[in-house]
């Protein structure tokens, strides 16, 4: 009798090469989501006459966009590499499409944020070009809001389009997890910074985003197969557990806190921290799955035994 073969690889080395991204990209996954959600909230606040919420959303979007640019440029090494990606449009490449989404969203969101900052100046300074900038604030903000959902979702597509086992096996649910996480984080930012009387939409946005994130994360873990182990062990496991606790606690605070300023700040901070832990946890889980050959070999053998394609066709 020949014993059943066990999975292995040459000298136990990884079969799949881990993504070359540094942790800067994990932070970009978070700041990009906050920028997108904040732009969406600011656009809605502008249309419903909530100036305090609009200001919080636009400033949050500006800060998150600046941090996103810093993270991207640091990972790429120099700004010209980002500009080089704009030389072509490749619809089959999530990275190419994502670069263009960011390039379309950022100028309009930045213009709206600049108009918001200029609007805080004394009235005697709001003349000439400054007045024109103020008039451009609403249309620019609405374009930023329209382009926000693709910005929140494309990073999940970017991860799941790789050969990294934990990311690729989550391709169906990961966009929903990231969009929910973006809504929870940006809603949390607005809860913490906007006037309490105007923050009702932000609370609803945060609670809805948190619910989507938690539900889809649970479904994702159930559908990933063996690679779901990476979400429960090691550094990724610690981050994902913290994410669930912080997100659930923040959502509960948003529901029960009502018009309490202190509880709004605490709950909003918890939601933002939970979203950051989600992004970092998913990032770490992907690296762990790429470094252990069993997450590549075992699922392949299981598909062969079921008579399915060895390679994903998704």
Give the model's pLDDT for residue 11: 62
Give the model's pLDDT for residue 4: 60
Give the model's pLDDT for residue 314: 47
Q: How far, in Å, are 5, 12, 13, 296 from residue 8 at the CA level?
A: 9, 6, 9, 10
Give the model's pLDDT for residue 16: 79
On the CB side of 119, CA atoms within 13 Å amount to: 18
- Cβ atoms of 111 and 129 within 8 Å: the answer is no
Give the model's pLDDT for residue 307: 72
* Distance between CA atoms of residues 175 and 219, nearest Å: 12
Give the model's pLDDT for residue 201: 96
On the CB side of 137, CA atoms within 13 Å amount to: 25
Q: Which residue in this structure is represented by tokens 């136990």? A: 12
Give the model's pLDDT for residue 203: 96
Angle (nearest 5°) at CA 167 between 165 and 169? 65
Q: b/e for 222-235, b at 16 or more Cβ within 10 A? A: eebbbbbbbbeeee
pLDDT 10s digit of each residue in the chain, 314 long?
A: 666 655 566 666 777 777 788 889 999 999 999 999 999 999 999 999 999 999 999 999 999 999 998 998 888 888 888 878 888 888 888 888 888 999 999 999 999 999 999 888 777 777 778 788 888 999 999 999 999 999 999 999 999 998 899 999 999 999 999 999 999 999 999 999 999 999 999 999 999 999 999 999 999 999 998 999 999 999 999 999 999 999 999 999 999 887 899 999 999 999 999 999 999 999 999 999 998 888 887 777 777 777 776 555 54
Give the model's pLDDT for residue 282: 96
Give the model's pLDDT for residue 97: 87
């Amino acid at each position: 009798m020949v014993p059943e073969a066990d999975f292995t690889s040459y000298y136990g080395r990884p079969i799949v090469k881990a993504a070359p991204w540094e942790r800067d990209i994990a932070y970009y996954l978070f700041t990009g989501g906050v920028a997108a959600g904040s732009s969406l909230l600011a656009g809605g606040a502008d249309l419903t006459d909530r100036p305090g919420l609009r200001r919080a959303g636009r400033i949050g979007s500006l800060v998150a966009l600046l941090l996103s640019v810093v993270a991207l440029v640091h990972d790429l090494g120099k700004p010209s590499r980002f500009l080089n990606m704009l030389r072509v449009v490749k619809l089959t490449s999530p990275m190419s499409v994502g670069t263009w989404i960011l390039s379309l969203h950022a100028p309009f969101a930045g213009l709206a944020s600049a108009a918001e900052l200029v609007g805080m100046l004394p009235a005697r300074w709001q003349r000439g070009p400054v007045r024109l900038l103020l008039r451009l604030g609403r249309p620019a903000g609405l374009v930023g809001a329209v382009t926000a959902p693709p910005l929140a979702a494309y990073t999940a597509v970017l991860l799941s389009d790789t050969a990294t086992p934990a990311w690729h096996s989550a391709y169906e649910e990961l966009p929903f997890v990231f969009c929910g996480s973006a809504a929870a984080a940006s809603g949390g930012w607005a809860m913490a910074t906007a006037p309490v009387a105007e923050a009702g939409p932000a609370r609803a946005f945060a609670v809805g985003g948190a619910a989507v994130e938690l539900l889809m994360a649970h479904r994702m873990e159930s559908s990933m197969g063996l690679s779901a182990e990476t979400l429960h062990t090691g550094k990724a496991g610690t981050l994902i557990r913290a994410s669930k606790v912080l997100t659930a606690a923040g959502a509960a605070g948003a529901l029960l806190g009502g018009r309490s300023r202190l509880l709004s700040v605490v709950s909003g901070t918890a939601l933002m921290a939970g979203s950051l832990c989600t992004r970092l946890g998913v990032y770490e889980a992907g690296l762990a799955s790429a470094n252990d050959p069993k997450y590549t070999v075992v699922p392949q053998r299981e598909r062969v035994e079921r008579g399915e394609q060895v390679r994903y066709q998704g």
